[in-house]
Amino acid sequence: MIRIDCPWCGMRDEAEFTYRGDATVTRPGANAPEEAFHDFVYARKNPRGWHVEWWYHSSGCRQYLKVVRHTMTHEVRTVARATETPEVPSE
């Protein structure tokens, strides 16, 4: 069970959160072409290593958090607020 240090609530179990996917993709602007939206919805990198993900504190403060997680070890390095840009380790 992953533990996530919510910036609003403190250290909590994974069970309190809902995974919401890749936080490295950004919704295209209003006039962006269909292809940009296609990539936003469907194209994912599936990296082996550090990854920035949305975790929603659904049984807590109901805030979406940016979690820097290692996809092999599940280590959580950083938990940031939605509007922040967390540092991602190179290795």
Smallest distance, another protein to C-beta of residue 41, A: 5
CA distance 79 to 22: 14
C-alpha dihedral, 51 to 57 to 63 to 65, nearest 10°: -10
Separate counts of helices (H) and strands (E) for the chain? 1, 6
**Residue from 9, 16, 24, 28 binding another protein (CB under 8 A):** 28
Smallest distance, another protein to C-beta of residue 79, A: 13
- Residue 62's binding partner among another protein, Zn ion, none (Cβ under 5 to 8 angstroms by kind) is another protein
Task: Provide the binding-site residues for Zn ion, judged by CB under 5 A.
Answer: 6, 8-9, 57, 60-61
